[in-house]
Chain A
Amino acid sequence: MTDLERTVEFVRRKFADFYTAQSEVGPSSIGQREFGFGSWERKIETRHAAFPTKADLRKYLVMNAPFFISHSIAYYEFPTGRPMPRKNWLGGDLVFDLDADECPNHAKGWICDTCFGKTKSEAIKLIEEFLMPDFGFSSNEISVNFSGNRGFHVRVESEKVKQLDREARRDLVDYIGGTGLSIENFFRAKEKSWMENDRVKRQLQNMGPKPTDPGWGGRIARFAIDPANIAHLPKEVQKKKFPLFTQGVKEGNWDKVRIANKETVWGDLGKKVGVHMGDQIDQNVTIDTSKLIRMADSLHGDSGWVAKTFPLSQLQSFDPRKDALAFSSSETVTLNIVEAPKFLSREEEFGPFKAEKRELPLHAAMYLLCKKAALLSD
């Protein structure tokens, strides 16, 4: 047996132990979900599997201990059917996949407070500024889980969203990401062609969105009057005129300061706000209704962490390096470490390591093994 083979075998045994200790795992309506499983090399190697009950799934997991477990966001009449149309799509959850961007602080695939913190604030923004106020979801319709590696899955399971097709989901993603905003739509005079009185018309032309307005109108107005965003505003309002400008916008008057080409200017501003809000969302998970997504509370084969579900209220404080650990500190393992940056596990700091042999507690060892940064030593 090579070191690699021994390592894979070791990790698999530990994964099996983990699933043996679990009582019940699996998504809602489990019988209507398609499952996919991944190996050491590939995140999804087989798909089109199905399990009538959670007990059946658990049995499979204990026996096979796959490194990755995914299931469809969709519900199907025949989840094992192939090709896809045979499955007969019945509906799907609404799922958002927020993943950390590449981060200058470390090599690809690892996390630090900076990149993970950013992802976290995107998730909070998604929930608190979009899903709840605009779309009207209550906190018990939304669930969050750690993705198992570098981000979060935010999911809405509700009859209201089940039937949304690709096009509708795309429109929703564009809404959240700020794509396709035409700011003119929020200036009222535009539509009121019935108005004959020019004076009234002129006044109304000024009627733009106020910071207190709902939806994107208000969002843009709030962005425009926030001094932190002043660099994104047109030159005309950047200096002395800013107070006058903000005072106007608060009343819905965007013309207190004359701005050349204002429609384009504000339209572009929309884009800026939008991209900033949207670039964290892996949109395809939301749009493509045949996608598979990591199963909540399963182990992630690239980290050895649990794709942990937790209450919304804990999102702010969630830290996978202590909250998503699956393995103990009582057991230790000796590893040949190829290379690893400094990392935290169970509030203990390890590394950086480079070409060295180390004895580590199981939780930290599993992390390095799954990151493919180390092999078992003999």
Chain B
Amino acid sequence: MVDYNLNLCAKYPFTSEAKAFVSVNKPQISPPLIELGQKRILSALLKGEIPKQAVVLDAKELVYSYAVARMIISQFSRFHINRYAIAEAKRASSLLESSLRESSGLQDSLLVLGGLGIHAKIVSEKPDFIADVPVFEYLRFAPRSVDYKLINQNVSGGFVRSLTWHKVCRIAEEAIKIQIQNSLPLKIPKTDYPQEILKAAKEIDKLLPREESVVITKIPSENFPPCIVKLLQDMHMHENLPHTARWFLATYLLKAGVKPEEIAAIFKDAPDYNEETTRYQIDYLVKKTYSVPNCDSIDSYGLCVAECGTKNPLQFKAAYHGKKVERDRRERDANQKRDQEQGEIQ
């Protein structure tokens, strides 16, 4: 008889230990269990997060609710699966982050990290936690944002040095997300699922918002350069765009005179969309007034998709459509000013 660390399995139900536990001690699919699984998914899909709720449930129920949730979410599209995986990963990484406060927390966390393919080496625990992570593990899992860009880390001898625990947990979050995404949908023929699972999926489906994403008719998209058009299309297809891509898209749109509310509507299609965060981020951009990066920078982000012969994406209109577009832009600016004066929020 194997001894399972059920508490650990409950926190991190994607580990091989948790999987082994479930496959040996198969859960009885009961209405309360289904309900727990549904809650997990609904919260992920509607709020973008899964409550930690360790106190309310016992460990076994938590592990089982995850197993059932996986069967249910397997009935949904890739978009929903991705959104669910992101929420699971967030839940796990925030548990990891607070784990250092517990007595065996570090040991346990390192175990979980190792299972994800992250072999962090602890450098110091106090006063600040610092760890080194092998550079290629870092490259695979680090979030694609300026703060995590490899060039701005201390890299030597095959390791990214001196990472804070927060950063290690963020890297783990990405690894968890990828692992969950890749393991779903379950490779079970639809006909083999218990009726209860299919029914549970239908019930969730009814609760999901139906509204089609706002089609942005007001934005004169024929004036956008190919890189922006591509990002808008990707966004519409619910692709999970990297941070730099979102930042570039929002910065460009703001500069091109698109209203913050319209931009927020575009970002609704992101699989990890969260209304509050998005609004906060856009407000932040409005305040910061970043300038739109030049084409060669865009190219280095991997986002340039054509050779427009412009130096900056904002010049695209001028380069291609000449004066007419300039006139359109002036007209739009004038309209905007009028809108503002009339205090219209749109």
Contacts and interface: CB of A to CB of B under 8 A. Distances in A.
Interface of A: 133-137, 160-161, 163-168, 170-172, 174-175, 178-182, 185-186, 213-217, 287
Given A164-B139, A167-B302, A168-B140, A214 B157 contact: yes
B155 A135 contact: yes
A93 to B, nearest CB: 13
Contacts of A170: 300-302
Given A180-B151, A287-B302, A171 B156 contact: no
Q: Which of B139, B146, B151, B157: most chain A CB closer than 10 A? A: B151
B280 interface: no
Interface of B: 134-136, 139-140, 142, 144, 146, 149-159, 161, 242, 300-302
Contact of B302 (A135, A136, A166): A166
B133 to A, nearest CB: 12
A214 B152 CA distance: 12
A181 B155 contact: no
A183 B154 CA distance: 12
B146 to A, nearest CB: 7
Contact of B157 (A136, A160, A171): A136
B152 A185 contact: yes
B149 A215 contact: no
Contacts of B158: 134-137
Contact of A180 (B149, B154, B159, B161): B149
A217 B154 CA distance: 7
Contacts of B300: 170, 174, 179-180
B154 A213 contact: yes
Contacts of B136: 135, 160-161, 164
Nearest to B301: A170
A167 B155 contact: no
A323 B38 CA distance: 68
Given A160-B136, A167-B144, A180-B149, A175 B154 contact: no
Contacts of A217: 154
A171 B149 contact: yes
Contacts of B151: 171, 174-175, 178-181, 216
B157 to A, nearest CB: 5
22 contacts: A133-B156, A133-B157, A134-B155, A164-B136, A164-B140, A165-B140, A167-B144, A167-B242, A170-B300, A171-B150, A172-B139, A174-B300, A175-B150, A178-B151, A179-B300, A185-B153, A214-B156, A214-B157, A215-B153, A215-B156, A215-B161, A216-B152
Contacts, number: 81
SS of B interface (majority) = mixed
Given A164-B139, A180-B149, A180-B300, A171 B155 contact: no
B155 A214 contact: yes
A171 B152 contact: no
A318 to B, nearest CB: 27
B155 A180 contact: no
A105 to B, nearest CB: 27
A214 B150 contact: no
Nearest to B154: A215
Nearest to B144: A167
Nearest to B160: A215
Nearest to B151: A175
Given A135-B136, A214-B155, 4 more contacts: A135-B155, A168-B140, A171-B142, A216-B151
A111 B300 CA distance: 29
Contacts of B242: 167
Nearest to A213: B154
A58 B144 CA distance: 43
A216 B135 CA distance: 14
Given A136-B158, A171-B144, A174-B300, A182 B139 contact: no
Contacts of A136: 135, 156-159
B157 A174 contact: no
A214 B144 CA distance: 22
Contacts of B149: 171, 174, 180
Contact of A214 (B146, B154, B301): B154
A266 to B, nearest CB: 13
A165 B144 CA distance: 12
B161 A214 contact: yes
A215 B150 CA distance: 10
Contacts of A214: 154-157, 161
Given A136-B159, A179-B300, A180-B146, A163 B140 contact: yes
A171 B248 CA distance: 17
Nearest to B164: A191
Contacts of A171: 139, 142, 144, 149-151
Contacts of A167: 144, 242, 302
Nearest to A283: B300
Closest 9 CB pairs of A and B: A136-B158, A214-B156, A185-B152, A215-B155, A168-B139, A175-B150, A160-B136, A175-B151, A134-B155
A174 B149 CA distance: 9
Contacts of B161: 214-215
